[in-house]
Amino acid sequence: MKNIGIFVKQKHPYAANVAREVAAWLEKRQRQVFFEETLAATLGREGFPAEVLPGKVDLIIVLGGDGTLISVARAVDELQVPILGVNLGRLGFLAEVTLADLYKVLEKVLGGEFTVSSRMRLEALVRRHDRLIGRFRVLNDVVINKGALARIIDMETWVNDVYLTTFRADGLIVSTPTGSTAYNLAAGGPIISPELHCLALAPICPHMLTNRPLIVSDDAVIRVRVQFRDEDVAFTADGQVGIPLHGGDEVEIRRAKIGTVLVKSPSKEYFEVLRKKLLWGGQQELPC
């Protein structure tokens, strides 16, 4: 790996300094370093737009947390550039390499001694009167959600063109196994091991107690038609981008053809991260 890209969490108090140190370490090893343009401006270096940089590198280092890594994965899109997530705060599900382990892990990565995890993504199409108004590819989840003052939404839902039900709820989450530990988990959905091939549907605060989370095959095509009047309802992708919805809009969700490639930490396994993140097996309890 000769060309390395670096992204950081914006406004993090010391992320830019870490990026400067990592770049110097890589350049001493005859690697060319490419910086995202906002970071580059901070460091006084040449930079590239987020959507351009992935096409120039063999590896991307993300200094931040899971949210930063998810935004970078969206920029990488279908290029399949491996992403090494370095957590600068609390333990992350995706950015699982700690700052203390960073250089040890980088030595192995530069030497080709690393493994990757290919994470499934979703593609979501939003249509209004049969006209495509939005296309999104996501790593975690897509969410249909009402505003604070909106009433319950009716969401007519089909799986592979077979009518499933009409969810009457505050919203609906469709998540990948990677996203199962995000909003899906908070809404009472299942935790899914990332190597499984499936999708999870979780209604948010359903009006009917019989509307429960559901797991379907990853080859399923999910179609949701929203029905409401004069309400504040939105579609969001990975909790970071989205568009407002109108009554009658349809959202179609399926597995994306190409996933996201993450460099695995050699010192942490998924279930170890899960146990530590959720404080399982200890005396502590999750805060209310």
Amino acid found at 272: E
Q: Active-site residue among 58, 66, 101, 219?
A: 66
C-alpha distances in angstroms, 285 versus 78, 106, 180, 282, 288?
40, 34, 21, 8, 9
What tokens does 230 get? 């004069």
Rounded to an integer, what distance in angstroms lies between the CA atom of residue 150 and that of residue 161?
29
What tokens does 177 get? 């196994």
Rounded to an integer, what distance in angstroms lies between the CA atom of residue 142 and that of residue 124?
8
Please indicate whether residue 232 is annotated as part of the active site: no
What tokens does 182 get? 């995000």
Rounded to an integer, what distance in angstroms lies between the CA atom of residue 23 and that of residue 5?
9
Catalytic residue numbers? 66
